[in-house]
Structure 1
Amino acid sequence: MAGGRVGDLAAAVGDPAFLDRCAKSYTASGFGVASAAEQRSWRNSWPALFAALLRAGLSDLQIYLEYATPGGGRRLDALLVGAAPRGMLGLVIVELKQWQTCRILDAERVMRQDGLVTAHPVHQVAAYRSFFEHWRPQSAPALDTRAVVLLHNAAAAEGSALSASAGTSHGVPVLTGTDLAAPAPQLAGRLRCDDLKAPGSSQVQEFENIRWEPSGRLLDHVSSLLEGHSTFALVGAQQDAFVRIRAAAARHLPDRNGSTAQDSAGAGAVITVSGGPGSGKTALAVRLLGHLMRAHPLTRPRFLTPSGTLRAHLLDATKSHSAARELFPPAGAMGSVARQTGALIIDEAQRARRTPDRSLPPELAAVIEHVPLAVIFLDERQVIRPHEGTTVEEIRTTAQTLGRTHHHLELTGSFRCGASAAYTAWVDALLYGTPHAWDRTGEYDLTVTDDPFALQEWIEQATCDGHTARTAAGFCWRWARSRARGATTLPLDIHIDLPQTSHTPARTWRAAWNAADTLTAPDGAQLAPHSQLWATHTGGHQQIGCIYTAQGLEYHHAGVIIGPDLTWRDNRWHADPSQSHDPQLRPLPHDQYLRYALNTYRVLLTRGTHATRITSTDPATHHMLSRLLPPPHHTRDTKD
């Protein structure tokens, strides 16, 4: 974001005009608007850093503030560049923390003073160092990469505890205000800069000209993850689509040696791939990423999705190799990524935000205009909010207007829900057509449960049997995103009143929504995962998920609660937006809300790979479902 010699920037860092320029550069780099908290951290931390560097005699080193890695995947607080021994370039990554104290939960997590659980700073900066180790192309100068954590407001004891808790294998010192008071000759060593000299202008230029790309070791890891896992085997329409997209890539993109096919169409290509739930869109997308990384590395392929939940799971799946994070930039970086990559894969594209005039999202239009090969995956029946809704036809029209070649591929298979195409067809008939009885019990395990208590019992039993089991519901109850500091329980916002029956008294079932942030016990144990990891992480079965934490994912056993926003009356569905607690949907007229409600429950009903249980809060709707589905005692045991 800002770069120059340490001495030059030190003279400007206290100037409000300099901070204003940094804020504008921050936005221009695709990071969004610099928040007041972000700018406050600059004012609080940068002067302390520069004072230490000047006192250590390092004014001639090159420094970059808020250094961005490709795709906007990471921002380094500060990066120092100097001439290292043996003709190498020396890099020192500096992670700045304003903490005075923190609570160490384990070797990878700490709790800040404000109660937020975050990555251990040593592991955080070690991941940054990993980027430079694994993304340096062979043509780049040799790098000697180091890292330090600087807690300029903390005392020595705090730094010692953090350093000891992270283990000794990282080689990342944790410096505090006490360390910064060391004699000048020692300070340069503590900052890992004692053997670095001022880099020549040609060395600085050489560093700035590096085109970071994944190394062979990273390719091996990601490819084995994305291509070697059995769930990513491609069959049928998936395999046909993969072959056609590979051919398009060979026609429009340079190979590993920089050669491009002679018949390459210079304008590039846009490929749309559509398919219903479980048709294998994401499996094909990640497999395609692995291929592009190997066959066309010079294009710097990237995978982007407007779904924060899906991205969180991709990052979690590749967390053992932290440099893989650069492959999955955030959705907000779509515009900048479009100008940096030659091949971009977009999954869940129907979730991209539209403009008020309902035109194609401008970031998506930028992708179609600038990226030589754009592969866009979408399902038009998974549009769940008014500001969403990109269509294949809109993409086709935009591509043709810009002179781009457009191809459309359709995935017709079903690889989820027991690979039962009959089940996905049953769901579509239930919601969009004429509901009919489910008569293929042996093909997919589907039934209705008597009430949420029975559903909860089924989920608990499936979890005990070793299955990933989750319950999701319509967004029909308040969701308290915040909780009291130090709280170890979630508010039971979901409450469903059940009338008295011949077998049970009147009861109220209560449950908690998925946690907005990770919920941690005083001993550091995780009680509830962050909402974006609710579908797969420990404890998620004890909270209720919603459309935003379930879409794009799957789990073995799926429970679905149809709330009062969707009811069956007079042989058709009726939607009541006043029952929704989604602020984007609640103001809509009934007919318009119906579309989003049906799409939402279609998603929730198609998450279970092996079994689904349904219940409705509305007696008439529950009765209709009971007539269509086999009674609970006809279903298979969860251990099957």
Structure 2
Amino acid sequence: MSHLVSNAATDKISPTLPLTTDQKRLVDQILAFTTAHVNETGPAVFTVYGDAGTGKSVILAHLFNQLQTASRTRPDSPLAKTTNYFLVNHPEILKVYREIAGKEPHLLKKDFQRPTSLINQLAKGITTADVLVIDEAHLLLSQPDHYNNFYGENQLSSLLAAAKVIILVFDETQVLRMKSFWTEKRLEHLLAHYPHQHVRLTHQFRMQASDELVAWINDFTHSQVRPLPQSVGAQYDLRIFNDAEQMRRAIVTKNNQVGLSRVVSTSGYPSTLDGGKHYITEGHFHLPWDQYNYTSTPWAELPQTIDEVGSIYTCQGFDLNYVGLILGPPLTLSPQNQLEVHLDRYTDVEAFKRRADITDAQELTAIKKQLILNSVNVLMKRGVKGLYIYAHDAHLRQYLGAKAH
């Protein structure tokens, strides 16, 4: 699949994008499932599994556009006058979908909601829900979060109690926080008693990288460090840097050429959402972390963010053209070339909130380490055209075959 250079995140998941034959067939399959169950007492669930970059969001965008078009313009459809919502528990992605809604005749900005907002509206009887489409369902809260006004036990359970049909996409390798801790096994256990279908997407659409490089990333983010593959893709630019500032300059050059190119980092540096600036310093490299983005424009589309460092919270779900990734202090390589994850060096305090249902210390440690590796997986798969890497740990840089760029 060819990629056009674009400076707008909306162009990456617009319902006007052409679908492949297989993608169109899947949209039709989900629509048939939806119409078969929408007049039942419900709920019925359709799950789309797939790694980052396998086209999950563009499928949902097409699907929801067709749902709302049928609801609002086709009185003879089983979907006529149904009340449907598109949910995503990620403020930056929500901005993109609402921007898309402003361009489509049968989509309204209010159709797109955060799960907590809709759950609270449903509980108060302000609205009802027939069909719910959930993007990034691995971000749904799976325990109470009173700070964010969610008082239930599990957001998906709350939504199942209200809707007739739920369509969701899920990737357990993008689970990033304990309060939204999921696995495929936990999801399947919750859905076992409902009418349910699922499909698994495997083809990589985002990255113009070779299958070998995608497999290398998947192995790396499961603690299996191997030498980089010889073949990374004829149209893909992979570089390992000895110097973070040199990497930043290379990303700036790419941003000037094609746009949507940014430096991002794992946690492990000073970071507090207190309104002040907190910096990442690596030698001559010295830039502030992104803070909460209060504008309606996605972080990566703001011109000034070329002078910031992005995180999983601003970049998850987004396509960048080129991404420069800093692997921070929590990730080191042992003398035996084993990847080590240091929980005490992770500075994202929100990630590891306590869970009453996970009490085994060994299991808890393993989960926390995998959450950190999941964040690496998310960030490594942002770039359509290229991935640049700088590792804080000198041995890891050396092992990855760093050349002077």
- Both proteins in one fold, TM over 0.5: yes
Distance 2:404 2:29 in 1: 45
Aligned to 1:605: 380
Aligned to 2:108: 324
Aligned to 1:348: 136
CA contact (8 A) 2:16 2:62 kept: no
Unaligned runs of at least 5 residues, structure 2: 1-9, 71-78, 145-151, 355-363
Q: Could you say if the C-alpha distance between residues 320 and 290 of structure 1 is closer, same or farther in structure 2, counting changes exceeding 3 Å?
A: closer
- Higher-Rg structure is 1
Distance 2:87 2:333 in 1: 38
Aligned to 2:82: 299
Distance 2:54 2:14 in 1: 17
Instruction: Return the letter of the residue paired with 1:343.
Output: V
Unaligned runs of at least 5 residues, structure 1: 1-221, 255-264, 485-490, 498-507, 519-529, 634-640
The Cα shift of 1:417 comes to: 1.0
Q: Could you say if the C-alpha distance between residues 307 and 471 of structure 1 is closer, same or farther in structure 2, counting changes exceeding 3 Å?
A: same
Q: Could you say if the C-alpha distance between residues 400 and 363 of structure 1 is closer, same or farther in structure 2, counting changes exceeding 3 Å?
A: same
The Cα shift of 1:421 comes to: 3.3
Deviations 1:518-541 (A, max 9, x none): 5xxxxxxxxxxx597212222222
CA contact (8 A) 1:578 1:586 kept: no
The Cα shift of 1:227 comes to: 2.5
Q: Could you say if the C-alpha distance between residues 337 and 363 of structure 1 is closer, same or farther in structure 2, counting changes exceeding 3 Å?
A: farther
Distance 2:353 2:272 in 1: 20
The Cα shift of 1:482 comes to: 4.2
Instruction: Return the letter of the residue paired with 1:399.
Output: L
1:547 aligns with 2:339: no
Aligned to 1:335: 119
Distance 2:256 2:211 in 1: 29
The Cα shift of 1:451 comes to: 1.2
CA contact (8 A) 1:482 1:516 kept: no
Equivalent residues in 2 for 1:206-355, closer than 5 Å? 226-230=14-18, 233-236=19-22, 238-253=23-38, 266-295=41-70, 296-319=79-102, 324-336=108-120, 340-355=128-143
CA contact (8 A) 2:54 2:203 kept: yes
The Cα shift of 1:362 comes to: 2.8
The Cα shift of 1:292 comes to: 0.7
Q: Could you say if the C-alpha distance between residues 298 and 531 of structure 1 is closer, same or farther in structure 2, counting changes exceeding 3 Å?
A: closer
> Equivalent of 2:189, from 394, 397, 405?
397
Distance 1:492 1:467 in 2: 25
Aligned to 1:408: 198
Give the TM-score taking structure 1 as reference length. Answer: 0.53
Give the TM-score taking structure 2 as reference length. Answer: 0.81
Distance 1:608 1:602 in 2: 12
CA contact (8 A) 1:368 1:398 kept: no
Q: Could you say if the C-alpha distance between residues 240 and 249 of structure 1 is closer, same or farther in structure 2, counting changes exceeding 3 Å?
A: same
1:365 aligns with 2:157: yes
Equivalent residues in 2 for 1:51-450, closer than 5 Å? 226-230=14-18, 233-236=19-22, 238-253=23-38, 266-295=41-70, 296-319=79-102, 324-336=108-120, 340-355=128-143, 361-401=153-193, 404-418=194-208, 420-432=210-222, 433-441=224-232, 442-450=234-242
Distance 1:604 1:370 in 2: 34
Equivalent residues in 2 for 1:448-527, closer than 5 Å? 448-483=240-275, 491=277, 493-497=279-283, 508-517=284-293
CA contact (8 A) 2:271 2:278 kept: no
Distance 1:592 1:531 in 2: 34
Distance 1:534 1:599 in 2: 21
Distance 2:302 2:48 in 1: 30
The Cα shift of 1:424 comes to: 1.9
Q: Could you say if the C-alpha distance between residues 614 and 394 of structure 1 is closer, same or farther in structure 2, counting changes exceeding 3 Å?
A: same
Aligned to 1:93: none
Distance 2:337 2:63 in 1: 44
CA contact (8 A) 1:344 1:374 kept: yes
Q: Could you say if the C-alpha distance between residues 267 and 390 of structure 1 is closer, same or farther in structure 2, counting changes exceeding 3 Å?
A: same
Distance 1:568 1:309 in 2: 33
Equivalent residues in 2 for 1:559-638, closer than 5 Å? 559-569=324-334, 570-585=336-351, 591-626=366-401, 631=403
Q: Could you say if the C-alpha distance between residues 319 and 543 of structure 1 is closer, same or farther in structure 2, counting changes exceeding 3 Å?
A: farther
Q: Which segment is superposed worse, 552-561 or 327-336?
A: 327-336
CA contact (8 A) 1:429 1:436 kept: no
Q: Number of paired residues?
A: 363
2:262 is paired with a residue whose SS is strand
Q: Could you say if the C-alpha distance between residues 419 and 446 of structure 1 is closer, same or farther in structure 2, counting changes exceeding 3 Å?
A: closer
Instruction: Return the letter of the residue paired with 1:436.
Output: P
The Cα shift of 1:615 comes to: 0.6
Distance 1:413 1:251 in 2: 28
1:537 aligns with 2:306: no
